[in-house]
Amino acid sequence: MKLFQQLLLAPAALGLLAPVAASAADLNLSGVNDYASQEQVTSITQFSDVKPTDWAYQALSNLVDRYGCVAGYPNGTFKGGQAMTRFEAAALLNACLDRVTETTDELKRLMKEFQKELAVLRGRVDGLEARVGELEANQFSTTTKLKGYAAFVFGANTFGGNLRTTPNVSAYSGGVFGPDGQYLGGGAAPGTKYSNYASQTAGALSFPYDLRLDLDTSFTGKDLLRTRLRAGNFNGSAWFGNPPVGLLGMETAFESGAGNNVVEINRLFYQFPIGSGFTATFGPRVRQDDMLAMWPSAYPADTVLDIFTYAGAPGTYSLNLGAGGGLWWKAGGFSLSANYVSANGDNSNPSEGGIGTTGAAQTGTVQLAYGGANYGLAAAYTYSSGAGLYGGNGTPLAVAGFGGNSTNSVGLSAYFSPLSASWFPSISAGWGLNTYVGGNTGAGSTMYTTATSGYYDTINLGGDSSQSWYLGFQWGDFLLKGNTIGFAFGQPTFVTSSGFNDGNYAWEGWYKMQVTDNISVTPAIYYLSAPLGALQKDSGQSFNSFGGLIKTTFRF
């Protein structure tokens, strides 16, 4: 570096560096030249007189490593304790500025080379800023997200078999039965075959809907206040879990108790973390599965019959909905969940409702589970009292057993899903066992005609049991990316004791076509071998149901 350059930089050095005392007599131009011409060092260890214990060691090390603008004397020393002349300061500053200039020139070259790309990027950033501004100006809420679901179901059912008369379950129609089992009123003429009766009341082509709007609010980023608005008009359809064939109930079938096309508050609960690994949930409208740390099933990707959506154990995972609360703990893959729900917990009359009362329609559930990214298994226990079993989850006899008894239920469920779509399917399986404790079905609620006596008897299922199981398979990206195909089979809840021949089988198959990111169309077929269980089989007669539908789902 020329001395002239050093002199030009001296004023700048004066403004940036602490004043240094040096007279003209002290100035050694030869020494300055030696200092300024020395090659820049690449490591602080090149200075023989700089030690890690020196107070400015770290600062000097940073200048060497990051900026490479520190030079020493030809003899390999830095002379950190020596007073610095103004010329030496100018030389040091000039060396640093040279490095900055080199960097600036390189940046200019790169900016020129990528000028087009930078312009595109700048345009995208400007566009994003405009969109963010628009969203902020028109946002629904700073704390709440809206998620929507709508399902249109279009389809019908057919019925077959040689069952001669309507089974003597008066709750089906409120009608009158003769001593020989003939149905005498309530929509069917005496002696009408049940298959014809079912066709007359549940065989028409129908087109109901289900609509859900979830308002998910978070105040801390870790909590959740969920409000679900829901409406539908399924009650008049065959898929609502009502007689004449309750097992035709669909998972998406919904109608408010206030009537069709009426919007109700279907969920209202608050969920928040407590300490390390714990999550608490409570609310006046919370469902049992809202308070489980893990749902032990991957089936189905799209729902059809409701009996295949309870992890094989509808008695254990009854999805009781009402007032309640729960707590779960998670550590690694393990989780432990405990919760309580009373379907009529809003009622202050202890004989008709409440929390923990004799009149409460209540369930208490404990689940131990273990899961990973693509698998899970769980064991669960549920005690239910007055909560009942949804009509779409069992035979009339099994459902009646829940109606008049307290019930102990256990369930074992597991699933495995490939990490990516392949020929190997996702597999889900589950089994449930229910034991009825005392009581009976209630006089007049369920009457049964045995094959031998031909007379009605009030059924006492106290001490008896019922079971259920299922297997579900599905393949992702089938034929086209995003589409899924699946099927399931098993036995809906059926009474396994007291000598009743209540066994039955169910099967469904479907193909979900993902039309867009938000719209899917799912054609499906299903079959029920003996949906009335013992009520048809113990009389030596047959009855079955076959149906098909197309479900269009919108998510937004």
State both tokens at 217.
């609010």
Count Cα atoms within 13 angstroms, Cβ side, for 139: 11
At 460 the pLDDT is 65
Of 434, 492, 494, 498, residue with least CA distance to 460: 498
C-alpha to C-alpha distance for 168 and 487, rounded to whole angstroms: 33
C-alpha to C-alpha distance for 394 and 464, rounded to whole angstroms: 15
> Which DSSP string corresponds to 222-268?
S-EEEEEEEEE--TTSTTSS-TT-GGG-BTT---BTTBTT--EEEEE
> pTM of whole model > 0.85?
no
Of 77, 84, 75, 96, residue with least CA distance to 32: 84
Which ranges constitute the DSSP H helices of 495-538? Answer: 534-537
| For residue 300, cis peptide bond before it (omega within 30 degrees of 0) | yes
Of 542, 169, 120, residue with least CA distance to 128: 120
C-alpha to C-alpha distance for 439 and 462, rounded to whole angstroms: 6
Would you say 229 and 220 are in contact if contact means Cβ atoms under 8 Å apart?
A: no
C-alpha to C-alpha distance for 292 and 296, rounded to whole angstroms: 10
Of 393, 440, 451, residue with least CA distance to 168: 451
Kindly give the confidence (pLDDT) of every residue in the chain, 556 residues in length, as a single tens digit, with 9 standing for 90 and above.
444 344 333 443 433 333 333 443 444 445 445 544 455 677 777 778 888 878 878 878 877 777 777 777 777 787 777 777 777 777 777 777 766 666 677 777 877 788 888 888 888 888 888 888 877 777 667 789 999 999 999 999 999 988 765 444 433 333 333 333 433 334 444 456 777 778 888 899 999 999 999 999 999 999 999 999 999 999 999 999 887 889 999 999 999 999 999 999 999 999 999 988 999 999 999 999 999 999 999 999 889 999 999 999 999 999 999 999 999 999 999 999 999 999 999 999 999 999 999 899 999 999 999 999 999 999 999 999 988 888 889 988 888 888 767 899 999 999 999 988 888 999 999 999 999 886 544 333 333 443 333 333 455 676 788 999 999 999 999 999 999 999 999 999 999 976 778 899 999 999 999 999 999 999 999 999 999 888 777 667 789 999 999 999 999 9
At 164 the pLDDT is 66
**Structural element, H or E, at residue 311:** none
Indicate the SS3 state at residue 463. coil
At 184 the pLDDT is 35
Would you say 314 and 434 are in contact if contact means Cβ atoms under 8 Å apart?
A: no
At 556 the pLDDT is 94
At 167 the pLDDT is 46
CB atoms within 10 A of CB 453: 8
At 96 the pLDDT is 76
At 537 the pLDDT is 75
